[in-house]
Amino acid sequence: MSVDLAAIRAAEELLEGVAIRTPMEESRWLSGVVGGPVHLKCENLQRTGSFKIRGAYTRIAGLTEEERARGVVAASAGNHAQGVALAAKLLGCRATVFMPEGAPIPKEKATRGYGADIVFHGRYVDEALVAAQEYADREGAVLIHPFDHEDIVAGQGTAGLEILAQAPDVRTVLVPTGGGGLLAGIAIAIKALRPDVEVVGVQAAAAAAYPDSLASGSPQALAHMATIADGIAVGRPGDVPFGAVQEHVDRIVTVSEEYTSRALLSLLERAKLVVEPAGAVAVAALMEHPGAFAAPAVAVLSGGNIDPLLLGKVIRHGMAAAGRYLALTVCIPDAPGGLANLLGTLAGQQANVLDVVHQRTSPRSPSTRSRSTCRWRRAATAMPPRSWARCAPRATASSSRSRPDR
């Protein structure tokens, strides 16, 4: 690993006027959860909606004129695609991006909008990456890997320099982690200047390749992954960042799907920030393990590119996880006024009914009863009646709402 503080400072100079210096926002509600100051490094407000432009531009700018003339190629379903497309446009070279079939339409349109050619291949990014490598071998284009190159790591490390300048008293920095490029770059920068600061990588528990890899001493591939945090769903750590993570990162923690969706919802409501699931995992770690990190802490919000359809799904999941959104099935007397009585009971609990599906002929109901499925959202102080516990709700109530602020 030849990436050091000098390489990151050179990347910072190169990126002047290209990548913006993203804001650092103090979060009062998270500070209350952790018991000390917490700041949010808002890379979701970066150009292209994520930190990826930092590494992509640094990598492409480092190519020779002859290499840039042959064009660049990448594989991505979202953030890296947009970073490569914009960087190539700014540097005057052609970009081709392989995307898996079914990639979110907003990300496809944004990538095309930056001038890249799109080729759909395979169901997963790994399959698209194989096709991108074959294209590079066939056409002579340069493959721009999303994390496994020293220039990529150096570019991402510029975020670490900004963190230290914007939060000079920081004691803990939490970084969303997939292949490890962002984590490696930030860790190199921070440890070179402030070795006392703890650098923590955060992975989705259902897609955490780093814990076993670090334990074995080399990158290990996961057999399978299943997480809403698709931006960090990487099955194997990169060879280049792995060594830096070994040397400079203090620990890796994992977070559940429940807390990831709750973190996304909280950022939307309390901080007024749109963040994708992968970008919210650092906040999820603070919420799931509030006593595990020394304050002042900085949580990196690595990206905000989220499909509106997925956003709606994750919001509902987060509300259910927080006990604010509930679906339940109830058997009621099949007589006039039966459904009205149920709705009256809900109203008495200050519940707002979103929809009702009522079946008088359900084969699962006794002949004297009908079956109703209700989805409802409760008010801040409302709790479901004890008798509803027998109705096998699909989600449980556990926490209350509070007024939004930062």
pLDDT of residue 211 exceeding 50: yes
Q: Among the options 31, 41, 52, 266, which is catalytic?
A: 52
pLDDT of residue 383: 41
Per the DSSP assignment, residues forming a β-bridge with 98 are 75, 119
Is 359 within a domain? yes
Considering the domain boundaries, does residue 179 fall inside one? Answer: yes
Contacts for 301 with CB less than 8 Å, ≥ 6 apart: 40, 41, 42, 43, 44, 267, 273, 275, 279, 280, 282, 283
Whether 193 and 311 share a structural domain: yes
* Domain of residue 372, residue span: 323-391
| Over residues 379-388, mean pLDDT | 40
pLDDT tens profile 177-200? 999 999 999 999 999 999 999 999
Q: Between these two residues, 347 and 212, which has the higher pLDDT value?
A: 212
d(CA 190, CA 157): 9
How many domains in the chain?
3
Q: What is the mean pLDDT of residues 283-306?
A: 96
Do 336 and 282 share a structural domain?
no
Residue 406 domain-assigned (yes or no): no
pLDDT in tens, 75-85: 998 899 999 99
Q: What are phi and psi of 333, to 5 degrees?
A: -60, 135
| Residue where a domain stops, chosen among 297, 318, 339 | 318
Same domain, 303 and 189: yes
Q: Does residue 400 fall inside a structural domain?
A: no
Least confident range from 96-110, 237-251, 351-365: namely 351-365
pLDDT value of position 271: 94
Of 283, 318, 353, the last residue of a domain is 318
Tell me: pLDDT of 384 over 70.
Answer: no
Closest listed residue to residue 257, CA positions, set 234, 277, 276: 277
The answer on pLDDT for 397 being more than 60 is: no
Q: Measuring CA to CA, which residue among 184, 289, 288 is closest to residue 241?
A: 184
**CATH number of the domain encompassing residue 65:** 3.40.50.1100
Q: Residue 378 domain-assigned?
A: yes
Q: Is 52 a catalytic residue?
A: yes
Average pLDDT in the 90-104 region? 92
The answer to whether residue 402 is domain-embedded is no
Mean pLDDT, the chain, integer: 87
The C-alpha angle with vertex 353 and arms to 352 and 355, in degrees rounded to 5, equals: 155
396 lies in some domain? no
* Measured distance CA(334)–CA(192) in Å, rounded: 72
How far, in Å, CA of 404 to CA of 272, rounded?
9
Say whether both 263 and 294 belong to one domain: yes
Tell me, yes or no, whether 16 lies in a domain: yes
CA angle centred on 387, ends 342 and 383, rounded to 5°: 80
| CATH number of the domain to which 367 belongs | 3.30.70.260
Boundary (domain end) residue, out of 143, 178, 193: 143
Both 347 and 300 in one domain: the answer is no
Q: What percent of the chain stands above pLDDT 70? A: 88
Q: What is the pLDDT of residues 11-30, one digit of tens each?
A: 999 999 999 999 999 999 99
Which range is most confident: 236-240, 334-338, 356-360, 385-389?
236-240
The pLDDT score that the predictor gives to residue 324 is: 73
Catalytic-role residue among 213, 261, 302, 372 = 302
Is there a single domain that holds both residue 296 and residue 377? Answer: no
Report pTM: 0.83
